[in-house]
Structure formats: structure tokens, C-alpha cells
Structure 1
Amino acid sequence: MDKGSETRHLNKQVLGKLVVVAVLMFGFGYALVPMYKKICEITGINVLTQKDETVKETGNTQVDTSRTITVEFDANAQGPWRFRPTKGSMEVHPGQMAEVVYEVVNTQSRSIDAQAIPSYAPQQAAAHFKKLECFCFKQQTLGPNEAKQMQVVFYIDPALPKDVKTITLSYTFFEINGSGGKAS
């Protein structure tokens, strides 16, 4: 082998290795979201979007009318849509069932798969904010230019510390697949 053909052979080997690395990196990136969901499910890290199964067992039997909690609603959109609660806040008694509706409008001419992730302030309120029904429990598919009203049915656990007078429920609504759906 002369020097030129040996160099070409080594270049082909390096190129082959780089192609394999690129394919492996793409595969890992593609598998990352399902792996993350599974790890969160196994470890219980992402408990904020799970349905509160204890409600069916214990039911809503106690309403603490001696105090009132202000629940403020917030919406953050990370994608091509408008997203907002229909009301900015409401007063509830701990243990009292309440409902709020969020509106989302897909402003694109394509379908979009999206997911909402809740967060709470103060953080200690998260354990006491019990959602019975929520659009955040599953992915939402919005058709081209589609508008949806999605409800959240909740109650505040009466065990909420007495010094907490206001809770902010905030949702961030983001696109699941960067490619969105198919164009219409």
C-alpha cells in the first residue's frame, strides 16, 4: 500500500466510526423522552402530573369553612398557541371542590401534540393541592386552528398549613414533538 491509499483507508475508517457515533447519538436523543418518562414513573419524581387516586378512597368529607384560601391561576405558553385561564383567581375553603377552565388555541395550520406541566407556589402547597381531573394528566392534541376549553377539578387538603393564605397554580404548556403534526 502506498501512502495515499493508506491515508484514504484510514479516512474511510474514521468516517465509518463517525457515522456510527452520529447514529448512536441520534438514537439516544430519540429515546431520551420515553426513558425520562419511565424513570420519573419508576422513581415517583414527576408526581405533579399524576391523578390523585386517594380521593376515590377517602372522598371529600371535610370542608374547613373557618378559613379561605385564594387560588391564583397562571398560564405560560411554550409554543405556537394562546393559553390562559378563564379566571385569574378564586376563593376556596380547604376541602371544598372547585373547578377552573383553561383555554388553549392552536394558532397554526397543523396539528400539534402538547403537554401541560403544573407548578405551585409556595412549594409546600404542592402536597396539599389535590387534582381530581386535569388536562395535565395526558397529552393534548390540538388540530389546526382548534380551540379547546380544558378543566381542572381540585380541592385543597385541609391539612394545608394555616399560614398559607394564597396558592398559585401555574401551567406551562409546551409542544411534545418539535415537528408537530402533519401539515393540513
Structure 2
Amino acid sequence: MKRENSRMVGKLAVITVGMFAFGYALVPIYKSICEMTGINILALGEQVVSGQKANVVNTQVDTSRTITVEFDANSRGPWDFKPAQRSVQVHPGEITTVMYEFQNIQNRRMSAQAIPSYAPLQASAHFNKLECFCFNQYTLEPGEKKAWPVVFVIDPKLSKDVSTITLSYTFFEVGGKTPAAPVASVKVPAVESAGS
């Protein structure tokens, strides 16, 4: 019985060592198969051509068109809020990063969030933000300054009539004391009675 147990432990040890060896061998085996078949699309940038990295070109960029993107900043409340640059020129399909600068000019901690808007309105469906400070709410200490990015790409399907897009943000205090915009009231005229 003891001999059979020792034999079984030996077999299990060999199987365990074999499994670890196979696990380590999978990476070079996978790389070899991908190189032979050309199916590893993610590694295209790692291929070496005559000692240099291959330049992978984004074929979705429409270099035949240039669109001017203008940046606007409005704040409802005590903030210093502005884009780091007023405009950029981009090609549709090209990934672009711009920065917006914020400062809490009050002597108290404040939380705020931004809401974007676009002009012309038809551009909003084609203006894709990959990263934006407008996705989150932020808290700034008194006098604190921050700069946050907006990473965007304009869909090449945007109408060729559009050559300028304005991205505007309104930055407002969350739960703050800034009053809401007034609501227009409508007066209903008095109806005269039929007997008058």
C-alpha cells in the first residue's frame, strides 16, 4: 500500500511539473503561431522592419478635410474656468487632446460639474469624447487650481458642410447657492361672460 502511494505521488509530481512547463511554453508558442499566421493584429506595432519599428497608420483619419474646433467656457458660480487654447484644427478621425483650466476662487470648498453643448447641433452626434472632465463631479479646495483633459475624435461621417464646431461647457456648483435660471410664466387672459 505504501509503495502504491509513493508511485501515485510520483505520478502527480510529474504531472504538476509538466503543467507548469506547458504554461510557461504557451507564451512563445502563441507568439510563434501568431507570427506565422499573421493573426496577432495587436502586435503590428511591435514588428521590426530592418531594425526599426513599423509605423502603423490610422486609416480612419480623413486628411482631405480640416475642421476647426472652437472651445468656450461658461461658469454659473464663483469659478475661474477656461480652455487652455481657444481652438484647434483637426482632421476627422484624428484623436485630439485639449486642456481646460479650473480654479475655485471662493474661500470655501466647492463641488462642481460641467455640461457640454455643441454648435451646430448636428455635430453633437459626431463629436465623440473618449475622456472628459464632464463625466465626473469634482471638489476643489479654496483657491485650488486644476487642469483636466478632453480627448475627442470627430467621426469622418460628419457632413462635409460642417467646417467649424464649437464645444461649449457650462460649469456649475453641485448643490450650491447659485440660483437656477428663471422660468417664464404665462398669463391666461380672463374670459368675459356671455351676458356682459
SS of the residue 2:124 aligns to? helix
Which amino acid counterpart does residue 129 of structure 2 have in structure 1?
A: K
Of the three residues 161, 164, 187, the one matched with 1:163 is 161
Q: Which structure 2 segments of 5+ residues have no match?
A: 1-57, 179-196
Of the three residues 59, 62, 65, the one matched with 1:64 is 62
Which entry has the higher C-alpha Rg, 1 or 2? 2
Q: Deviations over 1:72-108 (max 9, x none)?
A: 0000011111000000000000000001100011001
Of the three residues 90, 93, 111, the one matched with 1:92 is 90
- Cα distance in 2, alignment partners of residues 61 and 80 from structure 1: 44
- Cα distance in 2, alignment partners of residues 151 and 99 from structure 1: 6
SS of the residue 1:109 aligns to? coil
Q: Deviations over 1:84-142 (max 9, x none)?
A: 00000000000000011000110011110101000000000000000000000010111
Which residue does the alignment assign to 1:16? none
- Cα distance in 2, alignment partners of residues 81 and 94 from structure 1: 33
- Cα distance in 1, alignment partners of residues 142 and 113 from structure 2: 17
Which amino acid counterpart does residue 168 of structure 1 have in structure 2?
A: T
Q: Which structure 1 segments of 5+ residues have no match?
A: 1-59
- Cα distance in 2, alignment partners of residues 178 and 116 from structure 1: 14
Q: Deviations over 1:29-85 (max 9, x none)?
A: xxxxxxxxxxxxxxxxxxxxxxxxxxxxxxx75000000000000000111110000
- Cα distance in 1, alignment partners of residues 120 and 106 from structure 2: 35
Which amino acid counterpart does residue 115 of structure 2 have in structure 1?
A: I
Q: TM-score, with normalisation over the residues of structure 2?
A: 0.60
Which residue does the alignment assign to 1:18? none
Of the three residues 130, 134, 137, the one matched with 2:135 is 137
Which residue does the alignment assign to 1:75? 73
- Cα distance in 1, alignment partners of residues 75 and 176 from structure 2: 14
More helix as a share of residues: 1
- Cα distance in 1, alignment partners of residues 109 and 153 from structure 2: 33
What RMSD, in angstroms, separates the aligned Cα atoms of the two structures?
Answer: 1.3
Which residue does the alignment assign to 2:113? 115
Q: TM-score, with normalisation over the residues of structure 1?
A: 0.64
Which amino acid counterpart does residue 90 of structure 1 have in structure 2?
A: V
- Cα distance in 1, alignment partners of residues 170 and 176 from structure 2: 16
- Cα distance in 2, alignment partners of residues 179 and 70 from structure 1: 36
Which piece of structure 1 moves more, 170-179 or 155-164? 170-179
Matched pairs, number? 121
Structure 1 moving runs of 4+ over 4 Å: none
SS of the residue 2:129 aligns to? strand
